[in-house]
Each structure stands twice: as structure tokens, then as C-alpha cells.
Amino acid sequence: MNTPMPMNQTLLPSGRCAGGGGWQAQFACPEGWLGSLVGQLMAVKNDAINRFAIEQLALQAGDQVLEIGFGPGKTLQLMAEQAPQTFIAGVDLSLTMVTQAARRNQHFIKAGRVELQQGAVSNLPYEYGRFTKVVAVNNYQFWPNPELDLTEIQRVMSQGARLVLGLRLHSASLLALAPGFKQEEVEEIAGLVRWVGFHDVRVERRNVGREVACVLATR
């Protein structure tokens, strides 16, 4: 079992940002001062979809939760506040986001309830069957190989565990920072989740100021 991250410890990364790609690449893996600003923006812009995804998780006492791509750590904070008898781990590719999320969740980290690691969805730094709930919000589009990545997520989930993928749906608004997924693409994602071996796969949609969807599945 991994131990909580000391606040003054530099992490040895199991995944790294690729670098380059302009400002839009900052949303995939924020770095440096610009990445810090992007993280603050994501904490605000993703709040509604984060809350929707947490609702779909149906957290219970004793849950072991993993968030993939936690960004500025707002979802980690919300889960820790709402479900005090859970343990919550997070993995993010960006060291900038690990640092920002650690500041936001330092109370929970010191209490041993939240643990953060720098790492990639393709190589999760956890043992087989560890987690009862796994959530990833608004980062599926950045996964390098969704089929293999979903299989890797399956590896760290216990039997009967729940997976929630939060997705922004397509918007033609000029204010939308990203185009999002079309309806048929969401169905393709749900189909892939089913293909790799998850069951009870379904899609929940909601307007939270913008149309969003959660793909839900059981290990």
C-alpha cells in the first residue's frame, strides 16, 4: 500500500508531460506558470461536471477511490469533504497539477485520507484490485490508447467496483474552450468500455450549464 505524499517531497514521476504543442496542450498536461493558471481555470470551469461525476460514483463509507487526471484537485477535495470515511488516491501526469492539488488538499493529505502521485493512466502505480470506485473527468480525450488504458484501469479495480468517465459534450458556442464529444462518440466510448470487459454500462446525461455525460460501468 502506498503512503501519503509528504508536502515537501519531490515525486519521482512514472509519467511525464510531452512538452510543446502550444497553450492548448496545457489542458492535457499543464506545466509552469501558464499551467498553474490553466489549473485555476479548470477548477472553476469543471466544477459542475465534477459534481455530476461525484454524484454518479455514489460514494460509501469504506470506499477506496482513485481519480485519474485530478488536475487542480477540486474533485479530490469535494469527495474528501462529502465522504469522510473514504480513502482517495489521485494520479496526474502533470507535476504542476500535483503541486497545486497538494496545496488544495494538504489537510486531507496530512490526515492520510488523500494521496497524490504523478503518473499516467497507461501505467497506474497501484496494485491489482485496490479500488472500489474510479473516476476520470474531462481527460479521456487525452488518453494515449483508450482500449489499453481501460484495461489498465480494470486491473486496479476490485470485482464489482464502479467506473465513472465524465465527458463534455459538443458545443458550438464561441465560449467553449474545447469542442467536446458528439453523441455518437459517447456511444462509441461506452461500447469500448463494454468491449474491454466492463458490464452494466450506461450513459447518464445532464445540462450543467453545458451538456455533459457520464459513462458508468461495473468491473
31-45, 69-83, 110-124, 138-152: least confident range: 31-45
Sorting pLDDT into bands at 50, 70 and 90, what band is 20? very low
Most confident of 9-18, 116-125, 205-214: 116-125
pLDDT at res. 5: 37
Mean pLDDT to the nearest integer, 41-58? 81
pLDDT at res. 62: 96
- 120-170 confidence digits (pLDDT tens): 999 999 999 999 999 999 999 889 999 999 999 999 999 999 999 999 997
Sorting pLDDT into bands at 50, 70 and 90, what band is 32? low
Percentage of the chain exceeding pLDDT 70 = 75
The CATH homologous superfamily of the domain defined by 29-218: Vaccinia Virus protein VP39 (3.40.50.150)
Q: Where are the domains of the chain?
A: 29-218
Secondary structure (H, E, C), the chain: CCCCCCCCCCCCCCCCCCCCCCHHHHHCCCCHHHHHHHHHHHHHHCHHHHHHHHHHHCCCCCCEEEEECCCCCHHHHHHHHHCCCCEEEEEECCHHHHHHHHHHCHHHHHCCCEEEEECECCECCCCCCCEEEEEEECCHHHCCCHHHHHHHHHHCEEEEEEEEEEEEECCCCCCCCCCCECHHHHHHHHHHHHHCCCEEEEEEEEECCCEEEEEEEEC
Is the confidence at residue 52, as pLDDT, over 60? yes
pLDDT at res. 205: 95
pLDDT at res. 210: 84
pLDDT at res. 9: 33
On whether the pTM is more than 0.85, the answer is: no
pLDDT at res. 33: 47
